[in-house]
Amino acid sequence: MAIEFAVDPPLTPALRAGIVALWVEVTNAGGAVGFVAPVSRTQVAPVAHAAFTAVEAGIDHLLAGFDDGELVALLFVVSNQFALKEHWRVLKRVMVAPGHQGRGYGAALMREAEKLGRDLGLEALQVTVRGGAGTEKFYERLGYQQVGRIPGALRVGPGDDRDEYLLWRPLQP
C-alpha cells in the first residue's frame, strides 16, 4: 500500500481544486458524499468552500490521502460545535478515488481517522450513511455500530427517499 496521509495539509489552490475534482469524480461514480450524480464542479465548489473555511478556522480537520503525490482519498473530521458534544466528532465526505478503490485505502483512511480522533482526545466518531448504497457494511467491518436509522430522511430523487443510518465507533485508548 502506497498511501500517505496528511492532517490539515495547506489548502493551496491546487489542493482545493483537487478536492473538488475528487468529490465530483466520486459522486459521478455513484459515491454517496452529499450529492447525487450527475454533479458538476459548480455544484460541489460552494460546499467544498464551506468545508475549507471550517478547516482553516481550526473548527474541523481535513484528513487527506496521497498515492505518489496524487490526492486519492479524504474525509473531514467535523465538530458538532456544541459544548455537550465536544468529546466526539462526525466523519464526513469519506471518499476514495474510484480508480484507487479495492486497494485497502478506505480502511486505511478510517484507521487514520481513528488515530487522529485519539490524538485529539476524542472518545468516539460518528459517520452517517445513505441507505441503499451498502456502505454501512464497510463501516461495520471497521468496528462501527449502527445506532440509529431515520427512515426516508434523504431524498435523492423524485420518489426515491433513502434511510439515513447513524454509525458510531467508540475510541478505546
| DSSP conformation class of 131 | T
Q: What is the pLDDT along the chain (173 residues), one digit of tens a residue?
A: 689 999 999 999 999 999 999 999 999 999 999 999 999 999 999 999 999 999 999 999 999 999 999 999 999 999 999 999 999 999 999 999 999 999 999 999 999 999 999 999 999 999 999 999 889 999 999 999 999 999 999 999 999 999 999 999 999 86
Provide the CATH topology of domain 3-122.
Answer: Aminopeptidase (3.40.630)
Residue 22 to residue 18: CA distance in whole angstroms: 6
CB 131 within 8 A of CB 118: no
Asked if 137 contacts 102 with a C-beta cutoff of 8 angstroms, the reply is no
